[in-house]
Amino acid sequence: MKITVIGTGYVGLVSGACLADVGNDVLCLDIDPEKIRILDAGGIPIHEPGLLDMVRRNVAADRLHFTTDVDRAVSHGAVQFIAVGTPPDEDGSADLKYVLAAARDIGRKMTDYKVVVDKSTVPVGTGAKVRTAIADELRRRGVDIAFSVVSNPEFLKEGAAVEDFMRPDRIIVGAEDERAILLMRALYAPFQRNHERLVVMDTKSAELTKYAANAMLATRISFMNELANLAEALGADVEMVRQGIGSDPRIGYHFLYPGCGYGGSCFPKDVKALIKTARDDANITLEVLTAVEETNDRQKHLLARKIAARFGDLEGRHFALWGLAFKPNTDDMREAPSRALIGDLLAAGATVTAYDPAAMKEARHIFGDEPRLRYADTPTAALEKADALVIVTEWKEFRSPDFEAIKRILKTPVIFDGRNLYDPEFVRGQGIEYFAIGR
């Protein structure tokens, strides 16, 4: 099948590469020539495990191509995936300008039937706006060409996006006409040979499903963070509590890990957008999600409060920071807890040396030439002359460190663990002060 994917970010590039990997002829469009230059040169503009090899394999097989040419892209695919960004506006709503611009381009250039698929995370009602945008362009051209609009939200975890696409838990398709549904079934057949994973519903329900899923996961994280803070105040161990409640099959263990807050491109943006949609479109206040957002904003500053409680005045203090990305296996620092922590420490007069296996280039882009923030080539090098170690991202290489070296190199043997990586009793037994979350 010939497929066009508009946008080569996390969603677009992963979707395009995975669809090509099962035999489709995929053309990826991006208006950013630098991204296309990187892709044409054999690289990828994002960090995602397994993606580079998949892209190169399918380019070599002549199944995956890249372009900045809108005419070529619209002409190519019977299915046109819109996978562009929907950044938050100042009021928290999702900005649809890139989605609607892509839709208008399709309407201006299409000459035969197209299935236009909203793959981007978009508010309820976006499908109708995309349909109107395309219809308006066709009307201006004075032509009558059939098309369908489908909602097909992505459920990809950064750091595991290729695996999630190739072996999906579910495939949500929001559509109202059988022609489009049959085409989507054919498109996704290679990904569900074991059993049926495709769930068909109306477009609005599909759009809401995506927001509801992310909001539920964010809620579990904020709930556990509040519970961890309570456990710490009461002298309980939140890890024991997590195991106790997670063993209930109605609850399960997923997303029950307390820490220093969630970040990334999805949870913060989608929670804000759902709150805004409810308020503006339905005159409903989502009180639970409002609390989820407020709890997460507070949690991002928890490590700085713990550090200040231990050291007092932070003027002239220096800290080692392990982890900059909002989660492991990505270089994404959007809404990352590390950004709040670095801001708090610098504002208090401290300096920081950071290490991250993937995100230091992105950190340099965000913080620029900030002289009080330096970067180390290894985790151990980051410890030099530091008053304490602060862990913000749970990269695998941080899970079993050399505690003897940490104790020897740090000026004061203190660890602030924002991801509860270690057994408190064991670490304290090494002669290191250990401050975790809720333990």
Tens of pLDDT, residue by residue over 80-116, are 999 999 988 878 888 999 999 999 999 999 999 999 9
pLDDT of residue 340: 98
Cα separation of 267 and 295, whole Å?
13
Contact assessment for residue 387 and residue 312, using Cβ atoms and an 8 Å cutoff:
no
Percent of the chain with pLDDT strictly greater than 70: 100
Contact assessment for residue 338 and residue 393, using Cβ atoms and an 8 Å cutoff:
yes
Confidence of residue 9 (pLDDT cuts 50, 70, 90): very high
Cα separation of 220 and 417, whole Å?
20
**What would the pLDDT profile of 11-41 be if each residue is shown by its tens digit?**
999 999 999 999 999 999 999 999 999 999 9
pLDDT of residue 265: 85
Confidence of residue 76 (pLDDT cuts 50, 70, 90): very high
Catalytic residues: 266
pLDDT of residue 35: 96
pLDDT of residue 293: 97
pLDDT of residue 90: 77
Average pLDDT, the chain: 96
How much is the average pLDDT of 33-52?
A: 95
**What would the pLDDT profile of 392-408 be if each residue is shown by its tens digit?**
999 999 999 999 999 99
How much is the average pLDDT of 32-54?
A: 95
**What would the pLDDT profile of 158-171 be if each residue is shown by its tens digit?**
999 999 999 999 99
pLDDT of residue 93: 83
**What would the pLDDT profile of 366-383 be if each residue is shown by its tens digit?**
999 999 999 999 999 999
Looking at the predicted structure, is the pLDDT value of residue 151 above 80?
yes
Confidence of residue 141 (pLDDT cuts 50, 70, 90): very high
pLDDT of residue 260: 98
Confidence of residue 280 (pLDDT cuts 50, 70, 90): very high
**What would the pLDDT profile of 298-341 be if each residue is shown by its tens digit?**
999 999 999 999 999 999 999 999 999 999 999 999 999 999 99
Looking at the predicted structure, is the pLDDT value of residue 190 above 80?
yes
pLDDT of residue 67: 98
By the 10 Å C-beta count (0-12 exposed, 13-18 middle, 19+ buried), 186 is classed as: exposed
pLDDT of residue 273: 93
Q: How many CB atoms lie within 10 A of CB 285?
A: 11
How much is the average pLDDT of 126-151?
A: 98
